[in-house]
Structure 1
Amino acid sequence: MKIQNILYTSKPILNTMKLIKMAILLLLSATSAAAATQWYDYEDGMLAAGSMQKPVFLDFYADWCGPCIAMEEETYPDPRVTSELSDFIAIKVDTQKRIDIETRYGIAYYPTVVFLDAKGKEVSRHIGYLGPEDMIGEIKQSREKLPKESAGFEVLCLISAFICVTLIMTRRQL
């Protein structure tokens, strides 16, 4: 299929718009200090992780879970935790709504956090409440287990996204 035809079909445009949205989010997160963790839903987060080649932090929770609520109120707002999580695509999974994902990862207790490398392979997991200090320790230990990525890949992704946006905007002006 020619590039010219792709621009006029609706499905690739929707996918392109998602990629543009992710590129803009990446640019914003790269240029400003993180005030809060950027949380994704599962599908968007995994897509972002794949396109940006970033590791994934999965938080499996339930609304009725006391320790999950405590982590939401005490752990995740901590600026040190936010800073440590900035290297990851952070995904929240409501296990009451996404039983399919809960089953895929074999989650039986809440809260559970799972760390994945950029290819989606599990690196580590922790079951139970984590306060800010313990969460920082888990993040650092998991980061050490990640395969070393080649430098410059994120820059290449940003350049590709910019070129894609430029082509689309130029095409719309014609």
Structure 2
Amino acid sequence: MKKTLYVMLVLGFVTLNSIAQEINWVTFEEALELQRKTPKKIMMDVYTSWCPPCKALDKNTFHNEDVSNYVNEHYYAVKFDGEGNDVISYNGGEFTNPNYDPAKANRRNSPHQLAGYLQISAYPTIVFFDETGNVIAPIKGYQTPPQIELYLKLFKENHYKTIDSQEKFSAYAKAFKPEFKS
């Protein structure tokens, strides 16, 4: 009986702990609407269903407690399938994937028009937007929690506005002391 109770308590703790580490994902349109009421930057995870680094980013980085807590507090988080079939309104335009093939839903598909507009050339790419929905920068590739922390804080604290060269970014990155646990 004690062993069963112990297992139930451990499973309950693990479940609660997992819930606490979830990022509050919204659609792009929802994030833009939320910005109108309460301005915050947007962090968009551009992924595909077939991409192993995208899955690793989701599992290892976005489920990290430090990352999820920081993102939930300071950003609107958006998941966007770069080869998906959603219709998205942005900057006065409507973006679709006119060549989407449902038979290829879990394989390479044609790129979504918004991915092209945002100049996404690799998956995963994390695109950061300012408080008015304008693109700040796309960050290509898998990021560990300490690596993404640099960008989350760089953009949240507006340090990017004073970095106008690779040398200044390198100096910023070298001086940056990550606090997020891996």
> Could you state the TM-score of these two structures normalised by the residue count of structure 2?
0.58
**How does 1:91-130 map onto structure 2 within 5 Å?**
91-97=78-84, 98=86, 99-130=112-143
Q: Would you tell me which structure has more helix in proportion to its own residues?
A: 1
The letter for the 2-side match of 1:84 is Y
Deviation per CA, 1:115-154: give whole Å up to 9, x if none. 111111222321011011111111111112279xxxxxxx
**How does 1:66-81 map onto structure 2 within 5 Å?**
66-81=52-67
**Aligned-partner Cα distance in 2 for 1:52–1:68:** 29
**Aligned-partner Cα distance in 1 for 2:76–2:159:** 14
- On the 8 A contact 2:45/2:127 being kept in 1, the answer is yes
**Aligned-partner Cα distance in 2 for 1:56–1:103:** 18
Q: Counterpart of 1:59?
A: 45
Question: Secondary structure of 1:53's match?
Answer: coil
Residue 77 to residue 51, structure 1, CA distance change in 2 (3 Å):
same
Q: Kindly, what percent of the aligned residue pairs are identical?
A: 25
Size of the alignment, in residue pairs? 116
- On the 8 A contact 2:57/2:142 being kept in 1, the answer is yes
**How does 1:9-88 map onto structure 2 within 5 Å?**
35-86=21-72, 87-88=74-75
Q: Counterpart of 1:143?
A: 156
Q: CA RMSD in A?
A: 2.2
- 5+ long unaligned stretches in structure 1: 1-32, 148-174
Residue 62 of structure 1 and its aligned partner are, at CA, apart by 0.5
Question: Secondary structure of 1:130's match?
Answer: coil
- Determine whether 1:134 maps to 2:147: yes
- 5+ long unaligned stretches in structure 2: 1-18, 87-111, 161-182
- On the 8 A contact 1:124/1:142 being kept in 2, the answer is no
- On the 8 A contact 1:113/1:125 being kept in 2, the answer is yes
Deviates more, 1:89-98 or 1:70-79: 89-98
- On the 8 A contact 2:21/2:64 being kept in 1, the answer is no
**Aligned-partner Cα distance in 1 for 2:159–2:23:** 20
Residue 51 of structure 1 and its aligned partner are, at CA, apart by 2.4
